[in-house]
């Protein structure tokens, strides 16, 4: 008979035998362990690269090169909280964007001022009718044969006196009034525009009206001759 040794092998030998048996039962265990080691190293490298990128972003973007707002600059005082006025931004072509455009100024032409027109003054009829006992006083005379616009000149003089409060009138005398005669020749007055005051009830009445300081201030007339236009010839 063959003798069998039933004693337990030493611990070192037992572990070696177990390891050999395990290697035999799982022949791919070694390569898998090596593969896991390589994967762990790659993941570590990727994580380190990511951290470097993050730190680089923080270092380069963490500070801004833009200048501080005017209200927060050193020495500018405290910030009042008021927003800075918006400045229209320009596009590449140099023109302001549509949102920043200001409305165009009104191009409506100013209205022309209406010229002041002097109201017309009624200077009376050209050839008025007089009754017996009515008197007038002559302020001035304008003959029509001396090369001047006698009618317009006489009407302007009468209008000036009327605006000053003196009721003057203008008429064309051409021999139709027997009581109007030239003082030198005693012939009827003809072709003459006359500016006069009246008629009045007496010569003294119209004379006083002519000599009134207001009348003389508006149009000086020292002579102030009086006439009764409807008086008969030689009467």
Q: How far is CA 186 from CA 130, 146, 150, in A?
A: 20, 21, 23
pLDDT, tens digit, 9 for 90 and up, residues 56-108? 666 665 555 555 444 334 444 444 445 555 555 555 555 555 555 665 665 66
Question: Is there a domain that residue 42 lies in?
Answer: yes
Residue 174 forms part of a structural domain: yes
Report the alpha-carbon distance of residue 151 to residue 115 in Å, rounded.
Answer: 25
Residues 205-228 have a mean pLDDT of 95
What is the pLDDT at residue 180? 95
* Contact between 167 and 206 (Cβ < 8 Å): no
In a domain, 144, yes or no: yes
Q: Is residue 215 part of a domain?
A: yes
Q: Which of 233, 223, 209 is nearest to 132 (CA)?
A: 233
194 Cβ contact list (under 8 Å, min separation 6): 138, 140, 141, 142, 154, 170, 171, 172, 173, 180
Q: What whole-number percentage of the chain has pLDDT above 90?
A: 43
What's the confidence (pLDDT) of residue 36? 59
- Tell if the pTM clears 0.75, that is, is over it: no
pLDDT at 71: 36
Mean pLDDT value across residues 221-235: 86
What is the arithmetic mean of pLDDT over 20-40? 56
Residue 196 lies inside a defined structural domain of this protein: yes
* C-alpha to C-alpha distance for 132 and 202, rounded to whole angstroms: 11
* % of the chain surpassing 70 pLDDT: 54
In whole angstroms, give the CA distance from residue 168 to residue 155: 9
Domain that holds residue 21: 11-49
In which element (H, E) is residue 49 found?
Answer: helix 29-61
Per the structure, the count of domains in the chain is: 2
Q: In this structure, what DSSP letter does residue 114 have?
A: P
Asked if 178 contacts 190 with a C-beta cutoff of 8 angstroms, the reply is no
90 φ, ψ (degrees, to nearest 5)? -100, 145
Please state, rounded to an integer, the average pLDDT across all residues of the chain.
76
| Per-residue pLDDT at 187 | 92
Instruction: Please check the confidence at residue 31 and state whether its pLDDT lies above 90.
Output: no
**Is 193 part of any domain?**
yes
Do the domain assignments include residue 39?
Answer: yes
- The rounded distance, in Å, linking the Cα atoms of 36 and 16 is 25
**Is 110 inside a domain boundary?**
no
């Amino acid at each position: 008979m063959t003798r069998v040794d039933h004693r337990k092998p030493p611990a070192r030998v037992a572990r070696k035998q177990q390891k050999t048996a395990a290697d035999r039962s799982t022949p791919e265990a070694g390569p898998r362990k090596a593969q896991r080691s390589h994967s762990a190293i790659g993941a570590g490298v990727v994580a380190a690269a990511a951290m470097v990128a993050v730190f680089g972003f923080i270092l380069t973007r963490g500070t801004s090169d833009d200048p501080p707002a005017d209200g927060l600059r050193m020495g500018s005082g405290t910030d009042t909280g008021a927003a800075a006025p918006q400045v229209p931004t320009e596009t590449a072509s140099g023109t302001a964007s549509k949102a920043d455009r200001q409305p165009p100024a009104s191009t409506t032409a100013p209205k022309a001022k209406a010229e002041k027109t002097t109201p017309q003054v009624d200077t009376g009829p050209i050839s008025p009718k007089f009754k017996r006992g009515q008197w007038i006083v002559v302020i001035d005379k304008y003959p029509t044969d001396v090369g001047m616009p006698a009618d317009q000149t006489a009407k302007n003089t009468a209008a000036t006196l009327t605006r000053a409060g003196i009721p003057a009138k203008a008429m064309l005398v051409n021999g139709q009034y027997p009581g109007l005669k030239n003082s030198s020749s005693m012939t009827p007055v003809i072709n003459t525009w006359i500016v006069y005051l009246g008629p009045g009830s007496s010569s003294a009445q119209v004379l006083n009206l002519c000599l009134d300081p207001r009348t003389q201030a508006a149009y000086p007339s020292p002579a102030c001759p009086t006439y009764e236009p409807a008086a008969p010839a030689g009467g």
